Homo-oligomer: A and B are copies of this chain.
Amino acid sequence: MKRVAVLGSTGSIGTRTLEVARHLGDRIRVVALAGGNNVALLSDQIDELRPQLYHTLRPEAVRAGGAKLTSLEDIARHEDVDTVVVATSGNAGLRPTIAALRSGKTVLLANKEVLVMAGALVMEAARDSGALMIPVDSEHSALWQCLRGEKNGIGRLLLTASGGPFYRYAADRLADVTPGEALAHPVWSMGKKITIDSATLMNKGLEVIEAHWLFGVPFDNIDVLVHPDCIVHSLVEFVDGSVKAQLGPPDMALPIQYALSYPDRVPGLVTPLSWGGALTLTFEPVDAGRFPCLRLAEKAGRAGLTYPAVLCGADAAAVELFLQGAIRFTDIAALVEQAMEAHQPEVDPGLDQILDADEWARRFVMDRQRIAESASAVTPEDKQEVR
């Protein structure tokens, strides 16, 4: 039996993790839950699962039963926890992930920004303690599964991308897409931030950086393939020319269950792919021209230092502005690029510097937007230029 802490239990991945935990029955004991602001759902989860520990941003509003309130980091290193599911969002997962790894806990990582922002620190923590980190993203789970049992010889990682809802749109049409259109992902059902990131391909860019850290593969050897079918979740090409791929229905329950039951495989919650009819899978190299976020992410990943944190912070702020209707879809990339250009990086940054850079980038985007708005209020004809 694994004693599991679910950080971010009220989010999209967190709730699906609990469904998988119910399906796995006696193999899993949920000993800690941590939610953010959705106190009603967190209270229900505590009622049902009776964890020892919990965390929330609004303790006064949570029905905790006999559970003990504590911090994310205390949960992550608690002696009664052996597996920590990091399903938080944004920068919230950084400190608990490092705390869990340093304490030798197995980390199931679903919070992209952790590796993107602090890959060097996180991998060092895992190396030092020998702790296992299993990715929960469908793409990285696919790569992890393909690399299972392999000794050496990775040639290239091929990350698949659905392309999002606008992949076939001409560049000029992208400026006018609405938040509602961008939130309608053709295949995956996910949270709002990641759905917009999928539409800009920023999500794929973050995944490239994650893959670089997780598997120790240089950026030159990581490629993105557009695969609108969303059946092949990623591929590994080995130096001998052999390629391994992982396929499955596009449902996060699959990589979550794989990570929770690892190294075993047990009958799944998800209806498997059907092979009873004709199946066609298509792949094409990504055309990043219309989707500059992908190249911005690769640039930040290669630059390292605090650049990836700036990428994440600026993107988070810009996506928020887009969802509010304050900026256009194409402004997201423009604002991220401006933040990266304006950034003065820290050399050999620690966690504090990384979190500061993230915060700086969020403020930079918000300030830039306020300036643009004032400018547009005075001289509307200048608006394009400021952007």
Contact = CB atoms under 8 A, between A and B. Distances in A.
Contact of A285 (B145, B246, B277, B283): B277
A235 interface: yes
Contacts of A280: 280-283
A266 interface: yes
Contact of A148 (B148, B258, B263): B148
B145 A148 contact: no
A270 interface: yes
Contacts of A247: 235, 242-245
Contacts of A246: 242-245
Most buried by B among A235, A237, A265: A265
A209 interface: no
Nearest to A151: B263
Q: How large is the interface on A (under 10, 10 to 19, 20 to 34, 35 or more residues)?
A: 35 or more
B248 A267 contact: no
A49 interface: no
A341 to B, nearest CB: 31
A153 B243 contact: no
A249 interface: yes
Interface in A248-288: 248-249, 254, 257-258, 261, 263-268, 270-273, 275-285
Contact of A237 (B153, B272, B278): B272
A265 B242 contact: yes
A242 B223 contact: no
Contacts of A271: 241
A258 B242 contact: yes
Given A148-B148, A150-B148, A245-B247, A258 B240 contact: yes
A158 interface: yes
A275 B283 contact: yes
A52 B192 CA distance: 69
Given A145-B244, A149-B150, A150-B148, A265 B238 contact: yes
10 contacts: A145-B242, A152-B265, A239-B266, A240-B266, A241-B254, A241-B272, A242-B254, A242-B268, A275-B285, A278-B282
Among all A-B residue pairs, the 4 with the closest Cβ atoms: A149-B149, A153-B265, A148-B149, A241-B268
